[in-house]
Chains A and B, each alone.
Chain A
């Protein structure tokens, strides 16, 4: 009897495992940020080309990088931020792109491409989306405000404000406020920024949080939140409170994130990967994805296809002294040490 159960179990397992690989279908493996591509795009791509996209997600560049370092995971396309593109090029983790297979690359605004210092000439990567952190304000609760990092010094908003839980974003903001580069590698400057945060900002904020700040802002628990506007807007979409959400870029500056599509050096399906990237770079697809997240468009011709108003423009970012987030190399140690001190301080 027992034996028969066991045989039955093995047979079931066998049948289940053969389900996946049964048909000779084409699959491309995409490793992307959580909620960074609408499912619709992947379905449309499948309907058009017959290629299935196997999506796996990560919540940060660090976790993506750690997972890729720790062993072959069979991914084809990944979407790292600029600083990680340069790091991954250094580590020989990416393969050069075949631009002949990416005709849609020509749609990009050449001005934006000139800013790409982490991969000059876009040999290994092409832009996916550009975003920036700034300050989200609930104008229903806070009517007077200044577009400056100084807002975190306001004691009347004490315990109603949150900062990100990201070393570079928070210390970067303080660096900009003090007049330094947000990509500083100078330990003195980083320590000044650290002390400024501990002395003037930390006493007034509720918490450092990069995961829940959108929800807390949407439920009215907090009124001021450093972070990406789209995170808050996704939470508020369709509610009355949406009109009370105002996003400002602090005039002292901050960090711009450019996330890029790249193909891993050991990708099992480089051809399909090129097809997927080229599809995502199509004008209508680009406009659709940017609409979903209220991002500024990177392709001038896609502007007319946009359906939503974006909270900030690329021109606005440069007018406000924003900088692209760069790999700071060994100076990352200074940032981590400063961060640990900020966390422990009163």
Chain B
């Protein structure tokens, strides 16, 4: 009886998910196999042109740059987020710290990026301070290069890394660290050997939350990279092909391909995990 009710309660959510997620994805997959129409839209005729286009050197290069940026931005985010989350979980002022993390996100995303531009530009705050202190004598262009893109991307994704990590660290039993130290392990070593493995779920979750949106970024490389060497990302290329060339199948093909790669990765991890679980159960029978 109760089971039936459960189904009824989730029915609405299921309809919403199906219509708003699965059907659009199917449309994207369908469009990727159609012929492009140079005035926009598609011609309903089967074609593999879109896939032929994306398996090219041009796309391999932009993919390489995108992956490099994603790697460094994610690493940087995690390096900053881990100590922050650790400190927050141990602090007596958790609520205040949490507010400090969340409040900036009430400001519009674009405004925050422009704030970074005001800090980093040739006549910006950073140059002003460095010039006043006499560290440099001509303004330095901090903007419009790969490092600037990585720094701003890391800044924008920081809360998405801190929150899952904080969640994981807060549930961690800190007496384990005391035990490790009682047994003669150093502070750093006990963190690395006890804390990190225990919050692995949180680390993986925050890396996923950070890396995937960065991989698809468009606006940060556009505004902070300015089309300079090594800053051009796949998201920009997709927008370019879609808006400028009015080619719909190619962006659809990129999306379809990425979706399948992600799905394969997801299932590979799942199969490995369930295999591990089975081995564990078999061993401990």
Contact = CB atoms under 8 A, between A and B. Distances in A.
B244 interface: yes
A206 B38 contact: no
B40 A344 contact: no
B38 A332 contact: yes
B227 interface: yes
A12 interface: no
Interface string A134-175: 000000000000000000000000010010010100000000
Interface in A69-123: 69, 87, 90-91
A221 B123 CA distance: 6
Interface string B216-255: 0000001101111110100011001111111100000000
A336 interface: yes
B170 interface: no
Interface stretch (A48-56, A57-65, A125-133, A263-271): A57-65
B236 A62 contact: no
A69 B41 contact: yes
A221 B127 CA distance: 12
A247 interface: no
Contact size range, A: 35 or more
A335 interface: yes
A7 interface: no
Contacts, number: 88
Interface string A329-342: 11011011101111
Nearest to A334: B245
Contacts of B223: 211-212
Contact of A219 (B123, B141, B143, B244): B123
Contacts of A159: 141
A312 interface: no
B39 interface: yes
Describe B's contact surface by its main secondary structure.
loop
Contacts of A195: none
Nearest to A206: B144
Contacts of A309: none
A340 B226 contact: no
Contacts of A65: 40, 246
A21 interface: no
Contacts of B245: 332-333, 335-336
Interface in A156-214: 159, 162, 165, 167, 206-209, 211-212
Given A69-B41, A87-B39, A330-B38, A206 B141 contact: yes
A344 B240 contact: no
A328 B61 CA distance: 27
Nearest to A343: B232
Interface string B32-47: 0000001111000000
A342 B39 contact: no
Contacts of A220: 122-123
Contacts of A60: 243
Interface of A: 60, 62-63, 65-66, 69, 87, 90-91, 159, 162, 165, 167, 206-209, 211-212, 216, 219-221, 329-330, 332-333, 335-337, 339-346
5 contacts: A165-B222, A207-B226, A219-B123, A329-B38, A335-B245
Given A209-B226, A212-B223, 12 more contacts: A62-B244, A66-B246, A206-B141, A336-B240, A339-B240, A340-B237, A341-B58, A342-B227, A343-B227, A344-B58, A345-B229, A346-B230
